[in-house]
Amino acid sequence: MPEQMMKRYAAMTEAALDRYVPQEEGYAGRLTDACRYSLLGGGKRLRPALLLEFYRLCGGAPEDALPFACGLEMIHTYSLIHDDLPCMDNDDYRRGRLSNHKVYGEAVATLAGDALLNRAFEIMLSQTAVPTERAVAAAAYIGRCSGVFGMIGGQIEDLLLEGKAPSERELLQMISKKTGALLRAACVGGCLLAGAPQEKLEAAEQYADTLGMAFQIRDDLLDVIGDSAALGKATGSDAAKQKSTFVSLCGQEECQRRVDDLTVRAVRAAGAFEGNGFLTALARQLARRDH
């Protein structure tokens, strides 16, 4: 069941992304080429699926929330383009293909990321299907989750912790921002768009927080035990960059135990929503993913 829903949401998102960032001619063509290379180059489309599903669970038609699902995916994609740059994580591959800067150069890759970030908010704030007050509230929340108090704040913490031995509290704080923030943007953002009550917003946040922590710990584990072909990127990069992860902190067996415990908590949080089968199945599937 989660595979069917994920495919449906992914197809909706893919078609809309193709419309929102069309191929341009002339000088702009080089930039839109770079944008589309990363934006339409695969990926789970996890964040759009979560936003659309939470909007649906709160009474909305998923199609109406597509500008926000796509905007969030553009923000996620821009962050990946910038993360791969030599001045950041310096990764040559992403999703089994050369990173954006390896194809288009560092300058164009940087501008492509900037362009996607700006286009995201242009699309979200230009839509007309969702009432303006709800749209603004959701866009503001997504902006906060994407910035210094969210994803970007987590990225700087991650960079500054390289080569150090952070405490468990520091790791949890970094993951909550770097990985968890955009998942909160998806889950809570979908609820905000639908005008959901406070108890639903809190349950969505709890689901996102536990799912995000489980996702990142499993990601750390896959960097050690995963297959590089399945992952679409080299394994062992965390150790090579002297990054402290939960694997280095507490070992492989304890990592999977924590993933399983967090998944149970995510499933419990999903119980606040009637018809939560997709959320429950998705959490369980991600806990055992191999890529």
**Separation of alpha carbons 67 and 86, rounded Å:** 31
Burial string for 200-221 (b: 16+ CB within 10 Å, else e) reads bbebbbbbbbbbbbbbbbbbbb
The residue to which tokens 């993951």 are assigned = 175
Between 240 and 96, name the one with better pLDDT.
Answer: 96
| Percentage of the chain exceeding pLDDT 90 | 76
Which structural domain, as residue segments, surrounds residue 108? 2-288
Average of per-residue pLDDT across 262-268 = 97
User: Considering Cα of 19, then 117, then 29, then 91, what sign does the dihedral take?
Assistant: negative
Global confidence as pTM: 0.93
Report how many domains make up the chain.
Answer: 1
pLDDT tens digit string along 224-262?
876 665 545 555 566 556 667 888 888 888 999 999 999
pLDDT at 79: 97
List the alpha helices (DSSP H) in the chain: 2-20, 27-39, 46-57, 66-83, 100-104, 106-124, 132-146, 151-161, 168-178, 180-193, 198-225, 228-231, 237-240, 246-250, 252-270, 277-286
Alpha-carbon gap, residue 158 to 245, rounded angstroms: 10
- Please tell me the predicted confidence (pLDDT) of residue 95: 86
pLDDT given at position 140: 98
In this prediction, residue 56 carries a pLDDT of 98
Using one digit for the tens of pLDDT, what is the confidence trace for 116-158? 999 999 999 999 999 999 999 999 999 999 999 999 999 999 8
DSSP state of 98: E
| 166: CATH | 1.10.600.10
What pLDDT score does 244 carry?
Answer: 72
**31-55, pLDDT tens digit by residue?**
999 999 999 998 889 999 999 999 9
